[in-house]
Structure 1
Amino acid sequence: MAWMAWTVPTALFFAVIASLLIIFTILAIKYPETPRTGILRIETTRGDRLFITLLGSAFINLIWLGLEVAPQPYALLACLVYAVAVFRWV
Structure 2
Amino acid sequence: MAWTTPVAVFFSAIALMLIGMTVWELLSPTVARRGLLPLTTTRGDRLFLGLLSAAYVNLAWAGLSDLPQWYGTGGSFVLLLLIMRWG
TM over 0.5: yes
Tell me which interval the TM-score lies in, with the shorter structure as reference length: 0.7 to 0.9
RMSD: 2.5
Structure 1 length-normalised TM: 0.73
| Identity score, percent | 40
Partner of 1:64: 61
- Deviation of 1:67 after TM superposition, in Å, equals 3.0
Amino acid at match of 1:85: L
- Higher-RCO chain (CA-CA 8 Å, sequence separation at least 6): 2
Quote the Cα distance in structure 2 between the aligned partners of 1:57 and 1:8.
17
Structure 2 length-normalised TM: 0.75
Question: Does residue 1:51 correspond to 2:48, yes or no?
Answer: yes
State how many pairs are aligned.
Answer: 84
Structure exhibiting the larger radius of gyration computed from Cα positions:
1
Which ranges in structure 2 are unaligned for 5 or more consecutive residues?
none
- Deviation of 1:63 after TM superposition, in Å, equals 2.2
List, as ranges, runs of 4+ consecutive aligned residues in structure 1 with deviation greater than 4 Å.
7-15
